[in-house]
Chains A and B, each alone.
Chain A
């Protein structure tokens, strides 16, 4: 019996390893190739990254229903959905892009859309269909919103699950505190007054969800806009050291220091509202379906427009998400367009609004008995948020590669400390403005 020499063994082992690595590489390459190509008429599989998909709540159920309805209407297109936590949607899309296999369609939150445009190989959704097809598909959609989401004169990401800030209030707690539920607060000062009245009865007063866990600044923008200011200048620079912004955040701080607003996290406040222990919650309409479900049989849930500032028009911006197309080849881009067209059709928004709770971006369907007519007659609580859509202001982005960090810095180092930890609005906002300016100049 002969034994192999070590040198030969090493050579054999190294060859085996090289072959194994080669096979793995080839397998990956084959998978990538087969995913991107498709013969005409063949079934196309479209990957869809969504933060609503797969959740055990109504958002997950509604998204599944949308996918089922689309696949039933389009048998040659199969959707391969992929769930992701809301805060990680851009992260997931970017890492998959870096790995060479981006999702064909991704749901990205508006607060991260500027970063998505910069970092992802986005094909503008308006560029996929012909002008006539685009016009036919978007007629009946909220034109102010479509204009508000344009980037460089065209719609790059299709508005999908859109919401505006809304006042949810517990009419039962209002009555208990001797307040009139038919007359909810229209200004921040009135919200403070009513919040204090509720706090006296043992509940918690009002909570503005301005420092949310996802570190989105949509409510910060809305509050500053409502006071006649702007968080971000047209050139993408911070504007928060201006008097209107300082006064707006000072009013938010006053809510906390007066005792009308509990200094707690977003999750704690929503849980308390669901339990009927918080009088008012100002947040995205996205939570409507969940709150309605929690309130059923427990308290009388009502909604109103976001409280603004006395004598000033209540402009708000929007939050939620848009759909971006990352598909590489024309066939998948066309399939992505078909999917997006369905999701934003009258049928799509009927499911989105009635099952998930986002705004129907086709205002006419709320009175149409074929779509949301019956739902809206039974539950008109989305009405105030829908009305705000007519006056919606564009969501503003910081400029430059550090835009995402600038938003997080504003939220972490200014909004949270001012509103919930009693920091001085003027000096804090001046310091953070300098910090963000330096960041954006890098």
Chain B
């Protein structure tokens, strides 16, 4: 069966002129691998594929193997341990709380690292000019600072005996909270510090997405009498949805890793293990205790958990698309 192909000059097709439907282009054809197609460039992919194999899939496979071994890297050859490392993880009173706390880090960083930058980016986009540029620069500055230096600065600022926070509380006659020393607030304090580095970057990314927004849609909404809040909610936010979804996913997946430096410098997992997360614990297993098998087993579980989440997200999206 053939179909009428619209002509490109905007005129209607002449009656009786029926063009055959072009065959869909296949990505790879036998010909492309031989002499005339793009397949001649395949060998150029070898360095990329080799590096992917050496640096990503090879180590991933090695990690799975290591998770079944008992080894400390230096003394003697590794010994097969079966499921011992996995059993040891679930017997470790710190592992499951750390896994839960990893989710808390993500839950805390999404509003701070996505919703707040979204709001800031829109506010700055609506008021273009020198002031907005200056604010963007100021918000982006923490992104460029070395993570360890930032963490140490926070240590001085939050020192409950003599830090900036202490001076502020003292000035208004309030007791100084020990943000990082109190088991109830330490994790959220670290989340706030971590978000401080993410906000500036995400404001920039939302700003880039806003640059693609057609200003006429906003002007039309205003002409129709929409308030600024309605313009934001019904015109701008929907157009930023893809960026927001992407940044939310990144925040959820990377929150644990982003907070690693702050945990390492500021709390070392304390107080009372309340700021541990699985990434920090994997480091401790691997490079403090040199229990390589257990560190590998924990890494495998983290990747598996992320895989389950991504597959579940994919299934939900497919079901929603099918309904639409």
| Interface residues of A, Cβ cutoff 8 Å to B | 3-6, 9-10, 12-14, 17, 88, 91, 94-95, 97-98, 115, 118-121, 204, 211, 213, 215, 262-265, 267-269, 271-272, 275, 277-278, 401-402, 404-405, 408, 412-413, 416-417, 420-421, 435, 442
Contact = CB atoms under 8 A, between A and B. Distances in A.
Given A94-B74, A119-B290, A271 B268 contact: no
Interface residues of B, number: 41
Contact of A10 (B46, B155, B271): B46
B42 A10 contact: yes
B39 A6 contact: yes
B180 A265 contact: yes
A291 B73 CA distance: 39
Interface stretch (B8-16, B133-141, B158-166, B235-243): B158-166
Nearest to B152: A267
B272 A421 contact: yes
B147 interface: no
Contact of B289 (A263, A267, A405, A420): A405
B62 interface: no
B291 interface: yes
Contacts of A120: 74
A118 B155 CA distance: 35
A94 B73 CA distance: 8
Contacts of B272: 412-413, 416-417, 421
30 contacts: A3-B40, A5-B35, A6-B33, A9-B40, A10-B43, A13-B47, A14-B46, A17-B50, A91-B287, A94-B73, A97-B73, A119-B74, A119-B75, A121-B74, A265-B181, A265-B267, A268-B163, A277-B162, A278-B161, A401-B72, A402-B291, A404-B288, A405-B289, A412-B272, A413-B272, A416-B271, A417-B271, A420-B181, A421-B183, A421-B271
B142 interface: no
A339 to B, nearest CB: 23
Contact of B155 (A6, A9, A267): A267
Given A12-B43, A94-B290, A421-B271, 11 more contacts: A6-B34, A13-B43, A13-B44, A213-B268, A215-B268, A262-B161, A264-B159, A265-B180, A271-B161, A271-B162, A416-B270
Interface string B248-273: 00000000000000000001111111
B88 interface: yes
B304 to A, nearest CB: 24
A413 B161 CA distance: 25
A206 to B, nearest CB: 13
The 8 closest A-B pairs by CB, nearest first: A9-B43, A272-B161, A98-B73, A13-B43, A13-B46, A91-B287, A268-B159, A405-B289
